[in-house]
Structure 1
């Protein structure tokens, strides 16, 4: 029930299919029991054990529920006696066989329809959980994924969700079909022989305790397997992303050993889990055979010695006992699947329950335009323990270009992360037109900002669809114009399918310079009032840099731009250059002014041989 509670919000939209599944499972359990009960009249005819009764039994002559079985028995004998007298024994046998076939047909039809509706339930829940997980993945801040392994996230969305899907079948069997089959069967067994049924059920709790003991630690072992599965997927993900580096540094053996160690742990944990799962079936089967042996011993005595049970009743009783063993065994297996699914549900819900620390405020102020200034007011920020920005203040007027320079680790890219609100400042505030960006919806803020990162992030799709991320309603003409501004149209026009050309995984069919120019074209197409260029030309060769620099300067006209630069040649015309060192401003001014100061900026320029 705890497992269903965890998944209840995903089950509710499909409750219609759940109820239909339960309904047909009830029919399955009912007809499953009747199919074995229907063997009794056939056996009575074959074995000629039907006691001849010429008068119809009256229910009033049988007192209490304990004599209800005798009433049914006598009614059946009366029916068989009448039919044999009128139609003959062979005709009655044909009729009894037809009844047996009908009950088995109805049982299997009910089983089909229960699984028919279960498919909609399971696959619908699977779809919704995956959609929610992906939606949550998009909603969670960038910081969440810098702390988690990507492979583990992928494992939760794929492997763990599949485990939940498989366990849903088990949970419904555990709740409805198998328990009801057992209940209906036990009721009939009581009507055949109260004494034998009570005797048998002394041994069932013992069997249940043993089976429970076998599966006690399954959830813990299942969770270890799933966590290690996430770890080895992370190694695989990192390997595929860094294949050039691994090969270039001859590090294949190191990464192979890491992967091998992970798969070895997965092998060990999976074996431990499999051994426990595999123990369920033989344990429950052996215990079932023990119960059958006890029934044979005690029931055989009732038939052969005490004469308190007829052969047809005993054979039917044995068939019903078998009818209990099958669902009992299924419940045993299902309980293990539920424990495994429960561990997976915990891992999936762990992501869904994670609260983003970058939530929009309830009274967020939506802004569609940028009017005057972007202001950084005494901001301080740290990723972990040490501050990477300290009391940073800066005001950028509309239409101005401000460049941020400094050595690696000085906090330049952090400012890009903060102004786009990938992270929130620890102290101070960032204001656009006097409005704190924390008081703006994230979508509204990011609609005002165009972003070009140092790493060209492109997707396995066409050039057109990659650019449409910037503006989904853009026409082909607008896309081509944006490509021209970014000096990308020259190479795009020569591709086999032009803007409809697929650029491969992460754009790997293109050169580094071509990928970066497409990233710039995407920002151009968006045409935002504020541009954030995080070392946008660092991946370009000298010729591409020259072409793109002209494009960037055209794009930045009449636009507020924050340029984070590694190559200082690209920012000489900036309205203001901010020089950072260890998260603090050490110099600021125009290029010529800073050169004259003969300070940090001049040293940086000289190191790049551009003085």
Structure 2
């Protein structure tokens, strides 16, 4: 229950609703018992067992509460008859109806207040999970399935919500219903009530045995939900490849394997969960049957209990069954909820590997240079960069080239602090980037990646990611610099046009130019271009390259290039191989050397 206690802190902002729920449940349980007890006077009138009392009885203490209640009832009925009211039964019916009305009114109020509590916890928990999802470093998601994260934010949080309601019922309403009912039963017949206490522990032991393995099977179900959501997410993201390679059967097979495992685990879980309710009901009926036998002896043989009192007693005893069943269901629900809470807390309590230093400064400008000093880095076991050095003066364009896997894109990940270096330092104007806030560091940079990452929204909203308060005129200027205005102005709704999921209503070149426009709108002093033209056709590449050149004017740029024709005007070209610099110079200088860079240029010109 440790996990569940941690989740309960989310109820703190809604404690007023919690207290109102508790108060409503107290009255619900009270009037629920009184509704049954109120049948007693009506039955007494029906059976004609009402004793004539002309003097109002006096309260002598809690020990004589039962006798006082009976005497006062008889006195009340006698007074009504004296007043000439022939049909006393109508008053009894009104009493029964009133108590049931109050019971149901407070039952509704209890559910009304808990709705705000449940949905409030759900909202805050999901908000925190989403914030944590954004806060965690990129490296976290290279090791985790995205579908599993989605499952935790959706299914697991929903499971916690249902369990949260169950635990409040378990703690407040249902136990109170049982306690009030048993209290009334004790007043009617303490001797008969002893039978109830004999069967309650037996029921509890059987129910606990049934629900013991629920948490384990609940874990399996929730993990498998994460797996099949991951397969679904990958299928939707790679649908063109799946269809293009006729791989439908492969992915369908993976999905069916996952749903098959989910089918087996869910069946075991639900069957054991469903067993708790009928088992508790059967045990309750056994208790009722025993009470019928023993209580019948008291009424018919011993004559120590009035028939109407026995009927009310049986109604109260049966009333215990409903909350007892609810408690058994709540217990199994809590087992499932605790498993879900552990999965949710695993994300919430994950410490981010990349944090701002306690005394991190906010840097708002770039004055002199970026200096990458003797850095080494590895994602897992093998070094991707070894003793790497690079100086990027303000206003210069530095290009990084080399074969795939040489470490080019890793440098972009390190200067933006998507990952932290294992050795060495990266500094801007002499300040280690680890000593700056991540927000201010990334505020100095614009990022254009090989994959044009756009969102299912309008062009306007995608651009505003670069500058949230940008005017329409600023957006149009940025689109013009990025050579994107020529196609945006012809769209049906201009910048208000929705571009679809991942911008798929646009061509590759159009998407990339929008990405460049977004970076232009941000207007950062330092630009990171990670193979921004490598996925484009020749015509799109020319348009994008023109846009990039427009954007890089008067800016400091680090260009990671696959197509060497795009970086010939760079101030410095760095050639990488296996994480180390093997050549460095301008395009003309490196061509004259006829080394690795020359060979790369020749290979691409032949291609």
Q: Give TM class, smaller chain.
A: over 0.9
Residues 67-90 of structure 1, C-alpha deviations (whole Å, 9 max, x = no match):
432332233233323333433452
User: Shift in Å at residue 463 of structure 1?
Assistant: 0.8
- Mapped contact 1:49–1:310 kept (Cα < 8 A): no
Corresponding residue SS for 2:198: coil
Corresponding residue SS for 2:605: coil
Task: Quote the residue 2:77 is aligned against.
Answer: 80
Task: Quote the residue 1:129 is aligned against.
Answer: 125
Corresponding residue SS for 1:391: strand
User: Shift in Å at residue 201 of structure 1?
Assistant: 1.4
Residues 229-269 of structure 1, C-alpha deviations (whole Å, 9 max, x = no match):
01000000000000111111111111110000000001111
- Mapped contact 1:36–1:320 kept (Cα < 8 A): yes
**1:208 partnered with 2:204:** yes
User: Shift in Å at residue 610 of structure 1?
Assistant: 6.5
**1:141 partnered with 2:98:** no
Task: Quote the residue 1:302 is aligned against.
Answer: 298
C-alpha distance in 2, partners of 1:183/1:459? 57
Aligned residues: 607
C-alpha distance in 1, partners of 2:3/2:144? 25
Where does 1:262-301 land on structure 2 (aligned, <5 Å)? Answer: 262-301=258-297
Task: Quote the residue 2:313 is aligned against.
Answer: 317
C-alpha distance in 2, partners of 1:254/1:145? 24
Where does 1:37-116 land on structure 2 (aligned, <5 Å)? Answer: 37-60=37-60, 66-90=63-87, 92-116=88-112
User: Shift in Å at residue 365 of structure 1?
Assistant: 1.3
Task: Quote the residue 2:588 is aligned against.
Answer: 592
C-alpha distance in 2, partners of 1:597/1:220? 66
Cα gap change, 1:436/1:129 in structure 2, threshold over 3 Å: closer, same or farther?
A: same
Worse-superposed segment, 305-314 or 160-169? 160-169
C-alpha distance in 2, partners of 1:349/1:4? 10
User: Shift in Å at residue 9 of structure 1?
Assistant: 2.2
C-alpha distance in 2, partners of 1:84/1:7? 59
C-alpha distance in 2, partners of 1:2/1:359? 27
User: Under a length normalisation based on structure 1, what TM-score does the superposition of the two structures give?
Assistant: 0.97
C-alpha distance in 2, partners of 1:312/1:207? 28
Residues 386-428 of structure 1, C-alpha deviations (whole Å, 9 max, x = no match):
1100110111100000000000000000000000110000110
C-alpha distance in 2, partners of 1:5/1:282? 29
**Of 561, 564, 568, which residue of structure 1 is paired with 2:560?**
564
- Mapped contact 2:4–2:341 kept (Cα < 8 A): no
- Mapped contact 1:574–1:590 kept (Cα < 8 A): yes
Task: Quote the residue 1:178 is aligned against.
Answer: 174
Residues 305-360 of structure 1, C-alpha deviations (whole Å, 9 max, x = no match):
00000001000000100111111111111111111111111111111101111111
**1:375 partnered with 2:375:** no
User: Shift in Å at residue 171 of structure 1?
Assistant: 1.1
Task: Quote the residue 1:603 is aligned against.
Answer: 599
**Of 519, 523, 541, which residue of structure 2 is paired with 1:523?**
519
Cα gap change, 1:298/1:66 in structure 2, threshold over 3 Å: closer, same or farther?
A: farther
User: Shift in Å at residue 603 of structure 1?
Assistant: 1.3
Q: Which runs of 5+ in 2 are unaligned?
A: none
Cα gap change, 1:45/1:2 in structure 2, threshold over 3 Å: closer, same or farther?
A: farther
**1:199 partnered with 2:195:** yes
- Mapped contact 1:569–1:610 kept (Cα < 8 A): no
Corresponding residue SS for 1:133: helix
